[in-house]
Amino acid sequence: MLIEQFSYSNRWRQVHPAAKSVFTLCGMIAGFLAHSPITASIMALLLIAVTCLGARIPLASYVRVSAAPLFFLLVSGTTLAVSLGWQGGFPWLCLESSQAQLFAAAHVAGRSLVCLTALLFLALTTPLNDLIALLRRIGFPAVLTDLMTLCYRTLFVFVEATHDITTAQSSRLGYASPRLALHSLGIMVASLTVQIWQRSLALHQSALSRANDGPLCFLTPDYPAVAGSLFVGILAGCALIALAMVRI
């Protein structure tokens, strides 16, 4: 929800999503091309600076949003950096590593970090709606964009429904003990399943009543200075790729 909130309220909300997407794509390419872990780290810091200073995302919120993926990155980086080995005596199993292995792990983690910060830039500056509209405009299959539109909308409807049900259950001690919690959870899942079925029927009727008999069509939003923002996005993206080539 924090990502959602910032995607609508950041300073670059009105910048064309294509410009932000191109910059993100270039950032990810630059991440793969990063020559060393140090280069990758510099690029990741640059992307964080662009997101926090350029789009005005508070650093504390950025840290909160990135905490979960950073944790996974740390776990996977650690497992790459060390490996299990055998030794003659007790306890037989030991952790091993080497200079080359550490470098390789740092390199992979650095590249992943660049990709992560690039994607966070896009997620925090561009509402999913705008991205779906962009996909529609560039000819992405309608069935997929329709599914994305409906899933995105219904996500919030069901978050609300789940919240209402758990509140109602909690108010009647539905989560007072682990056994009751499991029982309440089961009832909630069953209730949501029925709601999903009813909701899909209602959405279908609503679409019919608004003269729909094919793909879902929506107005594409207008953005100011499209060419200019695209140019800046491409230029900044190319600069990132050039930086990735620098040997540090």
As a whole number of angstroms, the distance between CA 188 and CA 161 comes to 10
Q: Interacting stretch for other proteins, rule CB under 8 A, among 99-107, 110-118, 125-133, 223-231?
A: 125-133
Single out the residue of 3, 102, 104, 207 in contact with other proteins (rule: CB under 8 A). Answer: 207
Which lies closer to other proteins via its Cβ, residue 117 or residue 229? 229
Q: Is 205 a binder of other proteins (CB under 8 A)?
A: yes
Region near other proteins per CB under 8 A, out of 22-30, 95-103, 172-180, 205-213: 205-213
Select from 24-32, 37-45, 110-118, 152-160 the region that touches other proteins (CB under 8 A): 152-160
H/E element, 202: helix 178-209
Contacts of 192 (CB under 8 A, 6+ apart): 158, 161, 162, 165
Taking CB under 8 A as the rule, does residue 209 contact other proteins?
A: yes
DSSP for 46-103, written as a single string: HHHHIIIIIS---HHHHHHHHHHHHHHHHHHHHHHH-EEEE-SSTT-EEEE--HHHHH
The span from the CA of 60 to the CA of 76, in Å, is: 24
Is 206 a binder of other proteins (CB under 8 A)?
A: yes
Distance CA 96, CA 36 (A): 23
120 vs 218: CA distance, rounded Å: 26
Residue type, 85: G
Question: Which span (70-78, 87-95, 177-185, 217-225) binds other proteins, by CB under 8 A?
Answer: 217-225
Binding of other proteins at residue 163 (CB under 8 A)?
Answer: no
Asked if 149 is part of the footprint of other proteins (rule: CB under 8 A), the reply reads yes
Contacts for 54 with CB less than 8 Å, ≥ 6 apart: 11, 12
Stretch of 42-50, 95-103, 114-122, 156-164 contacting other proteins, by CB under 8 A:
156-164
8 near other proteins (CB under 8 A): yes
* Interface residue with other proteins, options 212, 228, 231, 245 (CB under 8 A): 212
192 binds other proteins (CB under 8 A): no
Looking at 139, 211, 224, 227, which residue binds other proteins (CB under 8 A)?
A: 211
- Nearest 5°: CA angle at 115, between 110 and 118? 125
Min. distance of Cβ 216 from other proteins in angstroms? Answer: 6
Least distance in Å: CB of 147 to other proteins?
12
Show the tokens assigned to 240: 């990132």
What are φ and ψ of residue 122, in 5° steps?
Answer: -65, -45
**Cis-peptide, bond into residue 91, ω within 30° of zero:** yes
Q: Please report, as ranges, the residues that interact with other proteins according to CB under 8 A.
A: 4, 8, 127-129, 133, 149-150, 152-153, 156-157, 160, 199, 202-203, 205-213, 216-219, 221
